[in-house]
Amino acid sequence: MKNIKEDEKLSVLNHSCAHLLAQAVKHLYPEAKFWVGPVVEDGFYYDIDLGDKSITEEDLPLIEKEMKKISKDGKRIVRHELSKEEALDMFKDDPYKIDLISRMDENDTVISCYTQGDFTDLCRGPHVDTVKEIKYFKLLKFSGAYWKGDAKNKMLQRIYGVCFETEEELNEHLAFLEEAKERDHRKIGKEQELFCTNDLVGPGMPLWLPNGATIKRVLERYIQDKEISLGYDHVYTPAIGTVNLYKTSGHWDHYKENMFPVMKMDDEELVLRPMNCPHHMLVYKNSMHSYKDLPIRIGELAHDYRYEASGAVCGLERVRCMCMNDAHIFVTPEQIEKEFSNVVELILSVYKDFDINDYSFRLSLRDPEDKEKYFPDDDMWNMAEDKLRKVLNDLKIDYHEDIGEAAFYGPKLDVQVKSAIGHEFTLSTCQLDFLLPKRFELTYVDSDGSKKTPVVIHRAITSTSERFVSYLIERYKGAFPLWLSPLQVNIIPVNNEYHLEYANCIKKELESHNIRVSVDDREEKLGYKMRESVIKKTPYTLILGDKEKDTNTISYRLRGTESTENITIEDFINRLENEVKEKTIF
């Protein structure tokens, strides 16, 4: 999706379209007053006070129609500059504009307004020359928005829209939005009963429903088994710790704004953990280590709590409570490159299994100017960043560098992906850390008998289960491969009276092979049940009637196909077991 804000020409056009919207609204609702109408990544919006009126679904086409009419009239858009006094006088009946003007400093801002026909708006500009140029636009949605984003203020009406230079571009964008809507994990999550949210629990704290929980469980078992085969040791540690733990690690100074506030208990001060590193440092510290024991890979499917802004939380993608596929790998300085490279290889192999292809590697570096976030040890940072570059170059991996994205404790390699609705976020991450082992005074005994400080690699391959599943839902558009699908086989008896017993018998047989299966024994028509099975994106639908019962076979329909195949139950089980093992994508 194009970032409209970053394209200068489109940005001007969209801003002009916001004015056109305001003018049309003023025609239809003469009492309307306007707050701000900025351009955003995916178009523009305008926040409007309609007095005691509010926008409804039917209003958007009417406003659009009025916008088209004004555009056809083709008035010029004319800029005037004015003094603060003139501006205050001109907008004296408009408390919103007075609020904006009052805060302007005449000495360093030129106050200007733009007039098109009968409508004038306070605006910095620039704009297109005539309203005629604003032709290919669409109003997309509306919502309530508190004035200045403060819940204590009045709720204004926010109308969103988008504008392009050509009809094709607009149509292409609308088709993209339609596809994004269909793919959106929040929509599919609801339809397939994967997860839900409830205001009583709070924003950013989704509830995994049984179907979603199955996907989560399969994912977590998969990654844990893989890690065990690669020499990881898994632990369980509490999701809570003392403030002192986080003071020791440095999170208290560098990560506090992402943490839930302190809980005071008797003489203790406790916090919910935002990260697991401090706990894992202490697991390492619990015993003595020789250089021969390293690398030590401590893994945990660990629960973390982060205070994400309520406006930023989104379905399963950005949450406040999460289950992280975390591990901290303790290495000698000589082992850094090999172990980091192993982690990158692991990421690539996991992505192959899930058929994840659309991603980029971001080398997240510190901002040397940001002395507050990053501890001041230039040599350490340069060395750590160079090591990561070397690993990537040796592995011949394309990447881009981003300054200021490093963790406070060290540089990171992040795998960046985009959600259906165009949010960019990090899926996997692998981070190098020379700081925390020092702060926790961790040691190992080196070959010469001296005590040395290990280096730590922090890594999350399948991210958090929340984020990874949100990505998978959108990646597969809800059509999960067999091994991940909550329901793998749906059995429909042609006639309950004659075939239900056989259906239940097949169900039992499949269950004994760990296949997730259900029998649809509702008194509905066969065609209806088949259609529903397709809508639910069940990988295999079995239709069992006389033929199947008499020959002790099954007939199946594979998701996405129209034909039915008849095979023996043994062959069917072999087929499924093979697909689960191979993680076949279809």
Q: Cα 73 to the chain's mean position, in Å? A: 43
Of residues 206 and 410, the one with the C-beta less far from Zn ion? 410
Give the x/- contact pattern for ligand TSB in 249-288, rule: CB under 6 A.
--------------------------x-x-----------
Give the integer Cα–Cα distance in Å for 136 and 134. 6
Give the integer Cα–Cα distance in Å for 470 and 248. 34
Q: Is 308 in the site for ligand TSB (CB under 6 A)?
A: yes
288 phi-psi bin (left φ>0, alpha ψ -120 to 50, beta other): beta
| Residue 215 partner contact from Zn ion, ligand TSB, none using kind-dependent CB cut-offs of 5 to 8 Å | none
Give the residue, chosen from 322, 323, 356, 406, that forms a contact with ligand TSB under the rule CB under 6 A: 322
Which amino acid would we find at residue 11? Answer: S
Q: Is 436 in the site for Zn ion (CB under 5 A)?
A: no
Give the shortest CB-376-to-ligand TSB separation in angstroms: 21
| Residue 322 partner contact from Zn ion, ligand TSB, none using kind-dependent CB cut-offs of 5 to 8 Å | ligand TSB
DSSP of 160-178, one letter per residue? EEEEESSHHHHHHHHHHHH
Of residues 101 and 319, the one with the C-beta less far from ligand TSB? 319
Closest CA to 553 of 543, 565, 541, 567: 567
- Which range of residues in 457-465, 540-548, 552-560, 568-576 is near ligand TSB by CB under 6 A? 457-465
Give the residue, chosen from 115, 130, 426, 496, that forms a contact with ligand TSB under the rule CB under 6 A: 426
| Residue 33 partner contact from ligand TSB, Zn ion, none using kind-dependent CB cut-offs of 5 to 8 Å | none
Q: How many residues bind ligand TSB (CB under 6 A)?
A: 20
What are the distances in angstroms from CA 318 to CA 204, 399, 459, 501, 527? 7, 24, 18, 45, 39
Give the integer Cα–Cα distance in Å for 47 and 150. 13
Give the integer Cα–Cα distance in Å for 242 and 350. 35
Token pair 């899926």 is found at: 427
Q: Is 324 in the site for ligand TSB (CB under 6 A)?
A: yes
The angle at the Cα of 456, spanning 454 to 459, to the nearest 5 degrees, equals 160
End-to-end CA distance of the chain: 26
Give the residue, chosen from 197, 214, 364, 464, that forms a contact with ligand TSB under the rule CB under 6 A: 464
Give start and end residues of each alpha helix (H) in 477-525: 496-511
Secondary structure element (H or E) that encloses residue 109, with its range? none
Residues 263-282 contacting Zn ion, CB under 5 A: 277
> Nearest residue by C-beta to ligand TSB?
458
Q: Is 427 in the site for ligand TSB (CB under 6 A)?
A: yes
Give the x/- contact pattern for ligand TSB in 379-418, rule: CB under 6 A.
----------------------------------------
In the complex, the residues that contact Zn ion under the rule CB under 5 A are 277, 458
In the complex, the residues that contact ligand TSB under the rule CB under 6 A are 275, 277, 306, 308, 318-319, 322, 324, 326, 328, 426-427, 429, 458-460, 463-464, 466-467
